[in-house]
C-alpha cells in the first residue's frame, strides 16, 4: 500500500513538515509493509516558499535584516543559481508571528525587512523573486519593500519619512523613485482572492487581526487610497484593483505600480512545481490536513485543491483538521482533531499528542 502524506501547516502548532513526519511514523507502525512518502504542501500561506526551496534543493542564503517593527534579525531565502530566481516568504522578516500582540500596529509595521532581503537577492543577480505572501504583519501596500529598493517618501515639507515611522501612511505626500529602477520581476503567491479595497478588502477583513482598531479603519482606508493614487501617478499607470491585491496588506498592489508583477494562487503553482499530481497518481491513499478546515479552505487552499486531484484520479483521501466543516468537504475519511489551549506553554507538545491520539482512534486505511 502506497500512502502519500501531504499536509499543509497546522497553523500555530505544527509545521507541515512536523505533521508529515508524525503521520508517516504512525502509518509505518500501524500498517505492515506500507510505503509512505511525505510531501509537505503550501498554497501561498506562511512558509510556502521555504517549502519550495527545500523541495527544489536550493541554496539557502542568510542575511541580516529587520523584523516588522525594525529589530535586527537573520532572514533567509532560497536561491536558484541556474534560473536566478529567489524564493522568499514575506513572513520570514515581516511575519505576524515575529511580534507580540501588543506590538501589532499597521500604522508602524513595515515590509522594509522583506525589501532588504529582496535587495540582497538582486545583488546576487536575481532576475525574479517568487514571493510567498502568507502570514504578514503589515498592511503597508509594500511601501517598506519599495523603500528598501531605493524609493524615497517625503512629507508635505519635503522631509524624508524613514521606515517604521508612526502614521507613515498619513504622512506621505511625494514619492521619488530610484533611477534606474531595479531590473526585477515578481511572482506573488497568495492563498486569498480578496481585492485590496471594498467591504471584503484587506483593511476590513485582515486589518483587525494585524492590530487595527475598529475606529481606525476608515482613516487607514483613506490614507491607503491616497497612497495608491500617489504610487500609480508616479508610475504613470492607471490603477485597477485585482483579485489577490488584498493579500499581505497589498504588497502585490504596490509592487505592480513599478515592476512586472504576477499574482499566482499558491496551490496550483506549488503543486505544479513539485509534481504533486503524478505523486497522487502513484498512491493508494492520500492524507492531508490543516489546523482548521473552513469555508475559506474551498477558495483555493491546499487541502481542497488536493482533494480535487484525488477525485480526478480516483484516489482515496483523508483530511485531518479541527472543527466540523471538514466532514462535509468530500474526503473519504475525516479525522477530527481536538481543540487545544493556545495559551499553553506546552502547545507544540500538546498538538503532537492530539494528532497521534486522533490518528490512533480514527485512521482506517482499508
pLDDT tens-digit series, residues 306-335: 999 999 999 999 999 998 999 999 999 999
| pLDDT confidence of residue 60 | 98
Residue 52's pLDDT band, with cuts at 50, 70 and 90, is: very high
CATH of the domain spanning 48-267, picked from 3.40.50.1440, 3.90.1510.10, 1.10.1660.10, 3.30.1360.80: 3.90.1510.10
CB 119 within 8 A of CB 76: no
The pLDDT tens digits for 255-298 are: 999 999 999 999 999 999 999 999 999 999 999 999 999 877 88
The pLDDT tens digits for 93-105 are: 999 999 999 999 9
Return d(Cα 24, Cα 84) in angstroms, integer: 34
CB 223 within 8 A of CB 109: no
| pLDDT confidence of residue 295 | 78
With 90 as the cut, is the pLDDT of residue 65 above it?
yes
Q: Is 318 helix (H, G, I), strand (E, B) or coil?
A: strand
With 90 as the cut, is the pLDDT of residue 89 above it?
yes
Q: Is 328 helix (H, G, I), strand (E, B) or coil?
A: helix
| pLDDT confidence of residue 297 | 82
pTM as predicted? 0.93
Question: What residues have CB less than 8 Å from 277, skipping those under 6 apart?
Answer: 271, 309, 313
Across the range 206-230, mean pLDDT stands at 97
Query: Which of 79, 78, 10 is CA-nearest to residue 40?
Result: 10
Please give the mean pLDDT across all residues of the chain.
Answer: 96
Query: Which of 187, 200, 190 is CA-nearest to residue 256?
Result: 187
A 10 A CB-CB count for 112 gives: 25
For 158-184, give the DSSP string: SPBPPTT-TTHHHH--EEE--SSPP--
Query: Which of 220, 244, 221, 239 is CA-nearest to residue 229?
Result: 239
Across the range 212-217, mean pLDDT stands at 96
Q: For the domain made up of 2-40+278-362, give the CATH fold.
A: Rossmann fold (3.40.50)
Task: Identify any residues that bridge with 174 across adjacent strands, giving them in sequence order.
Answer: 154
With 90 as the cut, is the pLDDT of residue 366 above it?
no
Residue 359's pLDDT band, with cuts at 50, 70 and 90, is: very high
Return d(Cα 181, Cα 174) in angstroms, integer: 17
With 90 as the cut, is the pLDDT of residue 254 above it?
yes
Query: Which of 270, 282, 288 is CA-nearest to residue 314?
Result: 282
Q: Where in the chain is the domain with CATH 3.40.50.10350?
A: 2-40+278-362
Supply the Cα-derived Rg of the chain in whole angstroms.
21
The pLDDT tens digits for 107-166 are: 999 999 999 999 999 999 999 999 999 999 999 999 999 999 999 999 999 999 999 999
| pLDDT confidence of residue 296 | 79
For 255-280, give the DSSP string: HHTTS-EEEEEHHHHHHHHHTHHHHH
Residue 74's pLDDT band, with cuts at 50, 70 and 90, is: very high
| pLDDT confidence of residue 343 | 82
A 10 A CB-CB count for 74 gives: 10
With 90 as the cut, is the pLDDT of residue 35 above it?
yes
With 90 as the cut, is the pLDDT of residue 11 above it?
no
The DSSP element (H or E) to which 304 belongs, if any, is helix 302-312
CB 264 within 8 A of CB 49: no
| pLDDT confidence of residue 91 | 96
Residue 305's pLDDT band, with cuts at 50, 70 and 90, is: very high
With 90 as the cut, is the pLDDT of residue 340 above it?
no
With 90 as the cut, is the pLDDT of residue 342 above it?
no
| pLDDT confidence of residue 294 | 85
| pLDDT confidence of residue 221 | 97
Residue 199's pLDDT band, with cuts at 50, 70 and 90, is: very high
Query: Which of 109, 105, 18, 40 is CA-nearest to residue 270?
Result: 40
Percent of the chain with pLDDT over 70: 100
Amino acid at each position: 500500500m502506497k500512502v502519500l502524506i501531504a499536509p499543509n501547516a497546522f497553523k500555530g502548532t505544527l509545521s507541515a513538515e512536523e505533521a508529515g513526519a508524525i503521520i508517516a511514523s504512525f502509518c509505518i507502525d500501524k500498517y505492515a509493509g506500507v510505503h509512505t512518502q511525505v510531501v509537505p504542501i503550501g498554497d501561498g500561506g506562511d512558509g510556502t516558499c521555504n517549502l519550495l526551496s527545500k523541495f527544489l534543493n536550493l541554496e539557502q542564503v542568510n542575511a541580516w535584516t529587520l523584523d516588522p517593527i525594525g529589530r535586527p534579525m537573520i532572514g533567509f531565502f532560497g536561491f536558484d543559481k541556474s534560473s536566478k530566481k529567489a524564493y522568499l516568504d514575506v513572513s520570514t522578516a515581516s511575519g505576524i508571528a515575529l511580534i507580540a500582540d501588543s506590538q501589532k500596529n499597521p500604522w508602524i509595521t513595515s515590509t522594509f525587512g522583506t525589501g532588504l532581503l529582496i535587495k540582497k537577492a538582486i545583488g546576487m543577480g536575481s532576475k525574479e523573486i517568487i514571493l510567498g505572501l502568507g502570514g504578514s504583519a503589515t498592511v503597508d501596500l509594500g511601501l517598506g519593500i519599495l523603500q528598501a529598493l531605493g524609493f524615497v517618501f517625503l512629507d508635505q515639507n519635503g522631509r524624508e519619512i524613514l521606515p517604521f515611522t508612526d502614521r507613515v501612511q498619513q504622512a506621505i505626500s511625494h514619492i521619488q523613485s530610484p533611477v534606474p529602477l531595479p531590473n526585477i520581476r515578481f511572482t506573488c503567491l497568495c492563498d486569498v482572492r480578496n481585492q485590496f479595497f471594498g467591504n471584503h478588502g484587506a483593511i476590513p477583513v485582515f486589518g483587525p487581526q494585524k492590530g487595527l482598531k475598529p475606529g481606525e479603519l476608515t482613516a487607514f482606508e483613506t490614507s491607503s487610497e491616497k497612497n495608491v493614487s500617489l504610487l500609480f501617478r508616479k508610475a504613470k499607470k492607471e490603477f485597477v484593483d485585482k483579485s489577490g491585491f488584498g493579500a499581505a496588506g497589498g504588497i502585490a498592489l504596490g509592487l505592480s505600480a513599478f515592476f512586472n508583477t504576477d499574482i499566482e494562487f499558491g496551490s496550483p503553482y506549488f503543486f505544479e512545481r513539485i509534481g504533486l499530481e503524478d505523486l497522487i497518481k502513484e498512491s493508494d491513499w492520500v492524507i492531508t490536513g490543516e489546523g482548521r478546515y473552513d469555508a475559506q479552505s474551498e477558495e483555493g487552499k491546499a487541502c481542497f485543491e488536493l482533494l480535487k486531484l484525488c477525485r480526478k484520479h480516483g484516489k482515496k483521501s483523508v483530511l485531518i483538521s479541527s472543527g466540523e466543516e471538514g466532514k462535509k468537504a468530500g474526503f473519504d475519511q475525516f479525522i477530527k482533531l481536538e481543540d487545544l489551549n493556545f495559551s499553553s506553554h506546552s502547545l507544540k507538545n500538546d498538538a503532537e499528542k492530539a494528532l497521534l491520539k486522533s490518528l490512533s482512534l480514527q485512521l482506517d486505511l482499508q
